[in-house]
A and B are shown apart, each in its own frame.
Chain A
Amino acid sequence: MPQLNPRQNNIAIYPLMFILVIMSAGPIVLMLMTSLRLNVDITSPTASFFFTPTIRNYETTLCGVLWYKPEHVDYCNPMFGRALVNSLIVAITSTVLTLVIGCMAAYSLVRFKFFGRDVVSMTTLMMRMVPPAVLLVPVFGIWTFQFGISGTTGGIILIYTAMNLPFVIWILQSFIVQVPIQLEEAARMDGAGPFRVFFLVVLPLIKPGLAAAAIFTFRIAWNEFLLANALSDRNSRTVPVTIVNSLSDLGIDWGVLMATGMLLAIPPILFTFFAARQIITGMTAGAVKG
């Protein structure tokens, strides 16, 4: 550990980093490779590292929404395609809703000082603590019998929005606090109404916070299984639900399943590569500032 000769250190460090990268990316790459194989290749005992990639599994998965009919698909199960559309609707709508409502709430919390920051971080923590499994029973009961919205995407969107709101409010608040009030006053002096102040002055300044909040909300809404499973019916299933439903003890179609999994994993992977910094900001802010 003594850092007297940094160059010497690095020689030992780089292989370690390489191993770490292999370890954390390996399973994902393996999944990608499996999804590009035919089932014959996957199950044959002499599977080799080299194979001819095929997109057949993806075609089988997406046959419901493709514009052409893949020839190798005998019976097209439209479930995956529909689930993908549902997942997109649910994730995008709840992200937008959460951000808009969260932004308004955070802004008014900071500017009009209803509660202190302590109250907000306390509720955030409390909400972070509540596991989806705990919400399962009451949400199922209420959504089904009182609101009558179980089985619709609207019901799923509502619970996701509620689950994500505290975190979003909390993280946006920490960004809005840093916007100097003088800027807003100057804008007001120049004759801007409260809405213009908010949209033209505050919003551009908290863009990094918005990005972090959006990614976290989207990720949770996109990945969540348990509540979606309880609240959806045949037509409003999301992708995680269909994946779990197609797992059975005998005869798992690994190729197609891996292709579906890959489709589910692609948006978060893209986010990670384009916005790694915002994600790390959101993560460390969530923990370190407590």
Chain B
Amino acid sequence: MFLAPAAAILGIALLYPIGYMIYASFLDWNPSQRIGEADWVGMRNYLKLLHDEAFWESTWVTIRFASIVVTLEMILGVGLAMLLDRNLRGMSILRTIFILPMMIAPIVVGLMWRYMYHPQVGIFNRTLKSLGFDPIPFLSESNWAFASVIISDVWQWTPFIFILSLAALQSLPKSAIEASRIDGASGWQQVLHIKLPLMLPVLIVTVLLRLIDAFKVLEVILVMTNGGPGLSTEVLALHISRTASEFRELGEAAAMSNVLLFLLMLLTICMFGYTKLQEKRSLHLRQAAKEEV
């Protein structure tokens, strides 16, 4: 009985739309039509996607973006966590300021970076100019635009990985680290052979979570470049929303949404399977330990 409202809302506003979308992906549908008036076209939307260069381009951009961003963020985040994992004064302030970029609206993040990259009023080009260098076309040249988008995402999400890996580091068994120190392991050896392997389960989950989120990024890029110049920063989510709102091809957009959803589903299943495996293994270990006793 208590469950009814939750079930109703989830059913009406989440599951129904997703089912609807799968149905819509087989239709030739534009926003002024009711769905009943749209023509059934079977697999045509999907077939069209196969030959759609813009779609492939944006899929490729998305994958490139997600992998570069997550790699950079992992290296920076975990590295910083290793460096700062000690009793420091001011740590809680640092952590508080660190989560700010994640809390404020993606729209605002995009706005801030668009301002900073601005060719005339932006702080970067202004500094470059006053030092006597040529201004950099941060958002108007494809490669630079891609790099700029990556930089802003790294700025926004490295703290997430930092906080997670710091939490993981601090929950590591102290005894293992003590023991290694007594055995004369150097700092690097400790990191490589003890800390990283012990953190691995958390790190893998973190990578998958970040990958899922990186596939969903839309607003920051929308505000900064709106996918341009050309298609250089048009990630899949952005491509979907533009197909729906600018080109008014709802059926095609639905088909693309399905492809994106499918990609993400794969990632999620990987993640779920991994946690299950981990649980089973730790259960196994515990039982083995019990039997020995």
Q: Which residues of A contact B (CB under 8 A)?
A: 1-3, 6, 9-10, 13-14, 16-17, 20-21, 23-25, 27-28, 30-31, 34, 42-43, 45, 47, 101-102, 104-105, 107-109, 114, 122, 125-142, 145, 158-159, 161-163, 165-166, 169, 219, 222-223, 225-226, 230, 240, 243-244, 247, 254, 257-258, 261, 264-265, 268-269, 271-273, 276, 279-280, 283-284, 286-288, 290
Stretch at the interface among B49-57, B66-74, B208-216: B208-216
Q: Which residues of chain B have C-beta atoms less than 8 A from A166's C-beta?
A: 10
Task: Bits for B9-25, please: 1 = Cβ < 8 Å to A, else 0.
Answer: 11011101110110010
B253 and A265 within 8 A (CB): no
B222 near A: Cβ within 8 Å?
yes
A279 and B103 within 8 A (CB): yes
A127 and B14 within 8 A (CB): yes
Q: How far is the CA of A45 from the CA of B219 in the complex (A)?
A: 30
A10 and B215 within 8 A (CB): no
Q: Which residues of chain B have C-beta atoms less than 8 A from A140's C-beta?
A: 31, 244, 250
Given contact pairs A27-B112, A132-B216, A138-B17, A283 touches B163 in the complex (Cβ within 8 A): yes
- How many inter-chain contacts with C-beta < 8 Å in the A-B complex? 276
B142 near A: Cβ within 8 Å?
no
B191 near A: Cβ within 8 Å?
yes
B103 and A272 within 8 A (CB): yes
A137 and B186 within 8 A (CB): no
A142 and B20 within 8 A (CB): yes
Q: How far is the CA of A126 from the CA of B267 in the complex (A)?
A: 10
Please report the total number of B residues contacting A with Cβ < 8 Å. Answer: 99
A134 and B257 within 8 A (CB): yes
B111 and A284 within 8 A (CB): no
Q: Nearest Cβ distance between residue A275 and chain B, in whole angstroms?
A: 10
Q: How far is the CA of A134 from the CA of B218 in the complex (A)?
A: 11
B94 near A: Cβ within 8 Å?
yes
Given contact pairs A31-B112, A244-B222, A287-B209, A131 touches B215 in the complex (Cβ within 8 A): yes
Given contact pairs A1-B188, A254-B115, A272-B99, A138 touches B18 in the complex (Cβ within 8 A): yes
In the complex, which residues 125-161 of chain B have their Cβ closer than 8 Å to any Cβ of chain A? 126, 155, 159-160
- Find the A residue at minimum CB distance from B126: A47
A287 and B202 within 8 A (CB): yes
For this complex, 28 residue pairs linking A to B, each with C-beta atoms less than 8 Å apart, are A1-B188, A17-B84, A17-B90, A21-B93, A21-B94, A31-B112, A105-B6, A105-B7, A108-B2, A131-B215, A131-B261, A131-B264, A133-B218, A134-B257, A136-B253, A137-B253, A138-B24, A139-B13, A140-B31, A141-B250, A145-B34, A244-B223, A261-B112, A265-B105, A269-B103, A273-B96, A279-B103, A284-B164
B289 near A: Cβ within 8 Å?
no
- Find the B residue at minimum CB distance from A223: B105
Q: Nearest Cβ distance between residue A276 and chain B, in whole angstroms?
A: 4
- Find the A residue at minimum CB distance from B258: A134
Q: Which residues of chain B have C-beta atoms less than 8 A from A9's C-beta?
A: 86
A137 and B83 within 8 A (CB): no
Q: Besides A136-B244, A141-B35, A288-B202, 10 other CB < 8 A contacts?
A: A27-B116, A133-B216, A133-B218, A133-B241, A140-B250, A165-B10, A225-B222, A258-B115, A287-B206, A288-B168
B10 and A108 within 8 A (CB): no
Q: Which residues of B contact A (CB under 8 A)?
A: 1-3, 5-7, 9-10, 12-14, 16-18, 20-21, 24, 29, 31, 34-35, 80, 82-84, 86-88, 90, 92-101, 103-108, 111-116, 120-121, 123, 126, 155, 159-160, 163-164, 167-168, 181, 186-188, 190-191, 202, 205-206, 209, 212, 215-216, 218-219, 222-223, 236-238, 240-241, 244-245, 250, 253-254, 257, 260-261, 264-265, 267-268, 271-272, 275
B14 and A162 within 8 A (CB): yes
A287 and B164 within 8 A (CB): yes
B14 and A137 within 8 A (CB): no
Pick from A21, A254, A284: contact of B121, CB under 8 Å: A254
A13 and B107 within 8 A (CB): no
Q: How far is the CA of A284 from the CA of B268 in the complex (A)?
A: 18
B237 and A131 within 8 A (CB): yes
B268 and A226 within 8 A (CB): no
Shortest 5 CB-CB distances between A and B: which pairs? Answer: A1-B187, A162-B13, A223-B105, A138-B17, A105-B6
A290 and B205 within 8 A (CB): yes
Pick from B10, B164, B257, B268: contact of A283, CB under 8 Å: B164
Q: Which residues of chain B have C-beta atoms less than 8 A from A101's C-beta?
A: 5-6, 9
Q: How far is the CA of A105 from the CA of B4 in the complex (A)?
A: 8
Q: How far is the CA of A145 from the CA of B35 in the complex (A)?
A: 8
A223 and B107 within 8 A (CB): yes
- Find the A residue at minimum CB distance from B21: A138
Given contact pairs A104-B2, A129-B265, A145-B34, A137 touches B96 in the complex (Cβ within 8 A): no
B111 and A258 within 8 A (CB): yes
